[in-house]
Structure 1
Amino acid sequence: MVPSVEEVSSSLVREYLSRKGLKRTIACMEEEHPRTEASINNRSELRQILSIEDLYRKNKLQNNPLKTLLEVIVKHLIEQVKNEKIVSSDGVSSRRAQTSSMDNAPAGEEDSTPASVPSKQTRSRLDITATFPTSQATNASLVPENDRKSSNNRTGFRGPDLGVQKDHPVMDSLQDNKSLIQKEPEKNTSTSETTQRSRTNRIRRGILAGPVPQESNRKRNSRKVSQPLLRREEANRPTQDGRLVTGFHRGSLQGSRSEISSADCVREGREALSVSQRTQSENSFERVRLNMVTTTKAKTRPSAADLDASAMVLDDIEDYDDDLRELCDAPLRGTLPEHSLAGHPMDQRTATELKTLLLGSSLNCFNIEWRNQGFTFSDTHDLRYGIVQRKGGPCGVLASVQAFVLKKLLFESTESCTVGLQRLRPSNSIRRKCLVLALAEILWRAGEEKQATVAINSGRNQFIPARPYRSEGVLEKITCLTVENLKDLELILEQHVEQFETGMLGCMLLAVSAVLSRSIQKVQEDMDVPTTTLIGAHGYCTQELVNLLLCGRAVSNVFDNDMELDSGNGNMTLLKGIKGHCDVGLLSLFEHYNICKVGAYLKTPRYPIWVVCSESHFSVLFGLQRELLTNEGGGTEFDLYYFDGLANQQEEIRLTVSVGRLTQSSQDVDTDLTPPLELCIRTRWKDAFVSWNDTEPIL
């Protein structure tokens, strides 16, 4: 796919800012003009698109080579203009000297001019040759004088067998006039006599001709079609005396022409050159990109409301098309809040510490299960509230977020028209809003309700990886946005919710955001052993990571408060636990096997929602009424709902729990045939009988 001019220009600017080390400016640009799938992130590819490989190699051979591609291009253009000025100045001086010698020759000596000095007829042919391509100039010189005189009202010239050339390009006439355009500013201090003589010479050479009659609207419209290189507003722009400007063709016709001032020549020449250069540049883009296989799509032009006036400077509006002119005249307003600009790119030191904390070493890499997991909701009608897990690994993160989504959906939703089970069938907008609020609550609690940091994928590397850090294209592309207000946090998450919901790195971005919100140092201080990792063997979430998401602290235990153990010889070991009641609780199968003890802070949360740890996997158990937390006496019966995002669940699982009704015969049943979920429930409600209500029990 052919890249758009906007994407190539943005890539040039990004490459310039990156090579110059302007990190703050890059961060602002990424917020105001973020990257898309069509963005060019490779310098080699960018050089190929711009066809500047030769310039790049020449630059590398210099003693002090330029660092950026933009500087290389600008230097080349400046040198090209200087060279053209020198060449054109020499050519004009030579022609003027010849013309002056012929004008001053005495009468009667015209036939006896030397062979080195061209005659008037020869000069006319030379002028035509300089104006048109070689083949056209040859044809023009063969046209009889009468035929040329009869072509006064034509826009082209007639060759011997080619007919009228209506599509004659303006650039042909500009090649020779370029010397005049560039030479005139140097003559500003000359006398009026020199100016008049120069004007007379230009009229003799055919640059300025006599007036032409006014053209009809029909001919004016046809001329705009036949001259595609002329701008629409210039093709029928009247001069000060009311005549129509139709371009200038030096020496091409001997008939009448409209008078054009030197200022008009300069302006139209520059515009035609700009159009030609832009056309050639776009054609070069097409030639390069057609040979490259790509699946990217170009970003559409932003609307006027999406642009920021403070970041837009147009030096010459005449170089842009009419649509852009209207766009620039439209009132502009910023769409991003000011707090969204307070971001800073990830640096290698922080990335190294994050990898060590999450994976145990900066040389380790995230597995495919983490890299491909986001918070995507189920499309099953009865399970629209559920977040689907692709593969095992980040289940602890998914279950924790699922629990807070249910909290927002069931107990904090402002939708008054839905109650009970109806809230478990939310619309796309409602469940996305609940996801944003759930993520905000998790990060805000991790930041001790003082501040929070959101990790966003910027789409490009923020630093150049070096040993001993191993690059994998994840942490290197993160931009961190820090806020000190819960509402601002919700706004930022709402703006970037697609990276969490439909993006491939949703779970990783949340884990990194939670660690940075808490700070790496405090997370290490929370754990019993500071070298413990948050992602354990086989990519499973450790209890520290789950506790960080549920309670805001990465403690290693699930009992209440801290516990001191005597290690002997007067040494005391401090084991850190849960400090207070949590909004969302936790039940563990390990407690059934007497491996750990879940405290009351997690068993009795503020809302009837529990993350269930069973068989090294995390899932969610929840109820619809908060009353079940207080009515716990014998004979109590209530319903609980179970969701496992990894089980490819296709139907709603409703469990009826009867407290104290477990018979002795049921207890004598082989525990190998007892679903682990029932064992987890009985750690919370002793002797509870669980009915699966015609649903196949999960073993």
Structure 2
Amino acid sequence: MGDNSSASNSNDERELKEIRNLLWGPSIRLDVFRRWSQGFEFTDIEPSALVQKQGGPCAVIAPVQAFLLKILLMETPGHSFSDLTLDKCKRLLIQALCNILMKCKVTHYRIVTLPEVCTEAKENANEDSEGNIRSTADDEMQREDPNTAVYIISSITNRIALYHTLLLQHNVQPEHRELSPKEFHERLGVLNFESIEQVEKYYTENFNALSGPYGVLLFMYTVLLTKGIGNVTSELSDTSEPLIHNTYGYGSQGLINLMLTGRAVPHVWDNDQDVGGLKLRGINQQADVGFITLMEQMRYCTVGSFYKNPKNPVWVMGSETHLTVLFSNEKRLVSPETPCETARRVFKSYDPDGNNFIPSALLGDVLSALDLVSDPEYVDIMRKKLDPENLGIILLNAFMDEFFPIDQRSTPDTFDLMHYNGIPGSNLANKVKYRKGTAILLESDLKVMCSSSNHMLTCLQTKWPNIEVNWHDGVPSLN
């Protein structure tokens, strides 16, 4: 196995270096690296809520929180947020990480590790006749199927990993010291696993790898390595800017999309779009967890239906600087669209300014997109009927009354929403806690007018234009 191990070691060192450059650029600012250096930690007051200690790592923490909530809401019936034990929350976290990794797997799972040296562990190790350090874990590793779990790092790093195993055996807690970016990357190792069950078992037995001071970084590297650097760069198209902003430390849209969908595409619209001969890649199928953003209201992007209408009532919410999570236990929020809802969505896709009318010249395009009769003669007749005063516009209500007179809706008129923000300082009394609100969808097609400071409502209106929400403890912060 020696030659293959050396080749694997060399390949992974190269790929980890490429991932480092893709994430951080040519140099890593120490303050940005420190902000990302945290583990996955639950808050005391809300057992299943993760804490984000500083700005930056929400590009990983918010998607992980969203998948955790998806599992809790949709796959764990009868749950109660307040009754969750720490062990249950740990299992939910590991399941969430595995959900994300399954979307990224190409050939096998490649778990990035950070082995640590400890004097007490060294003293419990033995030397063989040639002076090499060995332990009972050495023998276990020799018996391991090389295709199942392989340490593909140098022999000295293998020994460091064994020392860490001995720490666990002797119940010794390693003393963590802050690593420089250079030290962190020099110490990284890799484990290969063939099945997600093996990954889940590894994280269960080595939970400290997730909760330790570099747990978030290690998981991000694991996602990128499992996906493969070549696949990531081909999906990004443009790699001139790092995935983590080198000044402010926030994650790019490509990184967010990779965490949510397993694809590092840079845009949030549906499918690919051709703009001036350039193929701009978007979301290619309905997402398990959705995404909505304040930036759409500001005209910086267009979020497609695959993100706005996910399979589960959980959405990552984006502001200019931060990611939070919106969720609900109302499954009807993601039930299949009725023909009426499809018609409204398609009509409004030709009305990007939200005016509830379209230029009459676009009527044929809307009818065609809805698979309705769109022969030119018929379109002319309907254009005159829907715009009798020849104003050059067609109102949404007139269009719906003509083609969909029975207005069926799958979404309930009222429902509860919950919101998560992982930064303590953005919560009441600096305690990370889910915030609850009661939403109502007004019958009018006109948007609810809100002040420019109510970013929460502004963001929600990109998904539900006629929504109003009564938050029980004041409006939560998106920042």
TM class by smaller structure: 0.5 to 0.7
Shift of 1:516: 0.3
Partner in structure 1 of residue 406 of structure 2: none
- Could you report, residue by residue, the CA deviation over 1:31-85 in whole angstroms, capped at 9, with x for unpaired residues? xxxxxxxxxxxxxxxxxxxxxxxxxxxxxxxxxxxxxxxxxxxxxxxxxxxxxxx
1:384 pairs with 2:47: yes
Q: Deviations over 1:461-505 (max 9, x none)?
A: 9599xxxxx9621122121112221211211222222211x2011
CA offset digits 1:281-307 (Å, max 9, x no partner): xxxxxxxxxxxxxxxxxxxxxxxxxxx
1:626 to 331, 344, 347: 331
CA distance in 2, matches of 1:629, 1:363: 41
Question: Partners of 1:412 and 1:635 in 2: how far apart?
Answer: 22
Cα deviation per residue 1:622-678 (whole Å; 9 max; x = unaligned)?
0012122238568711011001011443344111111125797951x5x323x2111
In the alignment, what sits opposite 1:555?
Answer: 265
* CA 1:662–1:402: 2 relative to 1, 3 Å: farther
Q: Which residue of 2 aligns with 1:451?
A: 108
**Is 2:460 the counterpart of 1:677?**
no
- Return the match for 2:440 from 658, 669, 672: 658
What is the aligned counterpart of 2:197 among 487, 500, 508? 487
CA distance in 1: counterparts of 2:31 and 2:104, whole angstroms: 23
Q: Separation in 2 of the partners of 1:405 and 1:636?
A: 27
Q: CA deviation at 1:395?
A: 1.0
Q: Once the two structures are aligned, what percentage of the paired residues are identical?
A: 29
Aligned to 1:609: 314
Task: Give the match's secondary structure for 1:367.
Answer: helix
Distance in 2 (CA, whole Å) between partners of 1:696 and 1:363 is 36
1:691 matched to 2:400: no
Amino acid at match of 2:283: I
Mapped contact 2:104–2:263 kept (Cα < 8 A): yes
8 Å Cα contact 1:444/1:451 also seen in 2: no
User: Cα gap change, 1:622/1:697 in structure 2, threshold over 3 Å: closer, same or farther?
Assistant: closer
Q: How far apart in 1 are the matches of 2:317 and 2:98?
A: 22
User: CA-to-partner distance for each residue in 1:438-479, whole Å, 9 max, x for gaps?
Assistant: 11111121114x522111111269599xxxxx9621122121
Residue 636 of structure 1 corresponds to which residue in structure 2? 413
Partner Cα distance (1:451, 1:661) in 2: 50
Task: Indicate how the Cα distance of structure 1 residues 430 and 655 shifts in structure 2: closer, same or farther if over 3 A, else same.
Answer: same
What displacement does 1:365 show?
5.6
Question: Offset at 1:599?
Answer: 0.6
The structure 2 residue matched to 1:508, chosen from 208, 213, 217, is 217
Deviation at 1:532, TM superposition (A): 3.3
Show the 5 A alignment for 1:292-331. Answer: none
Q: 2:233 aligns with which of 511, 524, 527?
A: 524
Q: Secondary structure at the match of 1:606?
A: coil
Quote the Cα distance in structure 1 between the aligned partners of 2:10 and 2:86: 32
> Which entry has the higher C-alpha Rg, 1 or 2?
1
Distance of aligned partners of 1:356 and 1:366 in 2 relative to their CA distance in 1, 3 Å threshold: farther
Deviation at 1:370, TM superposition (A): 3.9
Q: 1:694 to 1:645 in 2, by over 3 A?
A: closer
Tell me which amino acid in the other structure corresponds to 1:374.
G
Q: 1:361 pairs with 11, 26, 37, which one?
A: 26
| CA offset digits 1:423-451 (Å, max 9, x no partner) | 45411111000111111111121114x52
- TM-score of the two chains, using structure 1 as the length reference: 0.45
Matches of 1:479 and 1:23 in 2, distance apart? 18
Which residue identity does 1:640 align to in structure 2?
Answer: L
Following the alignment from structure 2 to structure 1, what is the Cα–Cα distance between the partners of residues 235 and 23?
14
One-letter identity of the residue aligned with 1:458 = P
1:364 deviates by 5.8
Shift of 1:562: 0.6
How far the C-alpha of 1:614 sits from its partner, in A, is: 1.1
Displacement of 1:563: 0.8
Pairwise CA distance, 1:547: 0.5
Given that residues 445 and 465 in structure 2 are in contact (C-alpha distance below 8 angstroms), is that contact kept between their aligned partners in structure 1?
A: no
Question: How far apart are residue 593 of structure 1 and its match?
Answer: 1.1
1:514-542 per-position Cα deviation (integer Å, ceiling 9, x unaligned): 11011011100011313332111411111
Superposition CA RMSD, Å: 3.0
- Amino acid corresponding to residue 385 of structure 1 in structure 2: S
What one-letter code is carried by the residue in structure 1 that aligns with 2:58? C
**Are the equivalent residues in 2 in contact too, given 1:385–1:425 (CA < 8 A)?**
no
**CA deviations over 1:397-446 (Å, ceiling 9, x no partner):** 11000001111222223xx6x34xx1454111110001111111111211
Q: Does 1:410 align with 2:187?
A: no
Structure 2 unaligned runs (5+)? 118-152, 157-179, 338-408
Runs (5+) with no aligned partner, structure 1:
1-21, 28-342, 465-469, 567-571
Aligned equivalent of 1:578: 283
More helix by share: 1
Aligned partner (choices 633, 645, 670) of residue 422 of structure 2: 645
Which letter maps to 1:520?
A: I
2:57 to 376, 388, 394: 394
Query: 1:472 aligns to what SS in structure 2?
Result: helix
Quote the Cα distance in structure 2 between the aligned partners of 1:634 and 1:405.
24
What does 1:150-165 align with in structure 2 at a 5 Å threshold? none
State the one-letter code of the partner of 1:682: Q
Q: 1:387 to 1:694 in 2, by over 3 A?
A: closer
Give yes or no for contact 2:435–2:473 (8 Å, CA) kept in 1. no
Partner of 2:296: 591
Contact 1:365/1:472, CA 8 A, preserved across alignment: no
